[in-house]
Structure 1
Amino acid sequence: MIAAGRFAQEFEKIGAVGAAVAAFDDGNEGDDPYGEHDFGKLDANGEAVIWKIDYYSLDEMHGSDHPEDPAVTVRILTLMFAEDY
Structure 2
Amino acid sequence: MGRAAEIARLNDHLRRTFEGGRVVITAGITALDPLHVSLILAGVRTFNAFTVDNDPHGEHDCATMMVRETRIMWKIDYYDPTMTYLSSDAADPSLTVRVLTIMLSGDH
Category of TM-score, reference length = shorter chain? 0.7 to 0.9
Deviation by residue 1:16-54 (Cα, 9 ceiling, x = unmatched)? 211101111112223211111100011112211111011
Alignment of structure 1 residues 1-85 onto 2, 5 Å: 1-4=24-27, 6-10=28-32, 12=34, 13-85=36-108
Structure 2 CA distance for partners of 1:11 and 1:75, relative to 1, 3 Å: farther
Q: Which runs of 4+ in 1 moved over 3 A?
A: none
Give the aligned residue type for 1:20: G
Structure 2 CA distance for partners of 1:35 and 1:67, relative to 1, 3 Å: same
Which has the larger helix fraction? 2
Report the Cα distance in structure 2 between the residues aligned to 1:11 and 1:65, rounded to whole angstroms: 38
Compute the TM-score of the two structures, normalised by the length of structure 2.
0.68
Q: Percent identity?
A: 32
Secondary structure in structure 2 of the residue aligned to 1:19:
helix
Compute the TM-score of the two structures, normalised by the length of structure 1.
0.84
Q: Which runs of 5+ in 2 are unaligned?
A: 1-23
The CA RMSD over aligned residues, in Å, is: 1.6
Give the aligned residue type for 1:62: Y
Report the Cα distance in structure 2 between the residues aligned to 1:68 and 1:43, rounded to whole angstroms: 29
Q: Which runs of 5+ in 1 are unaligned?
A: none
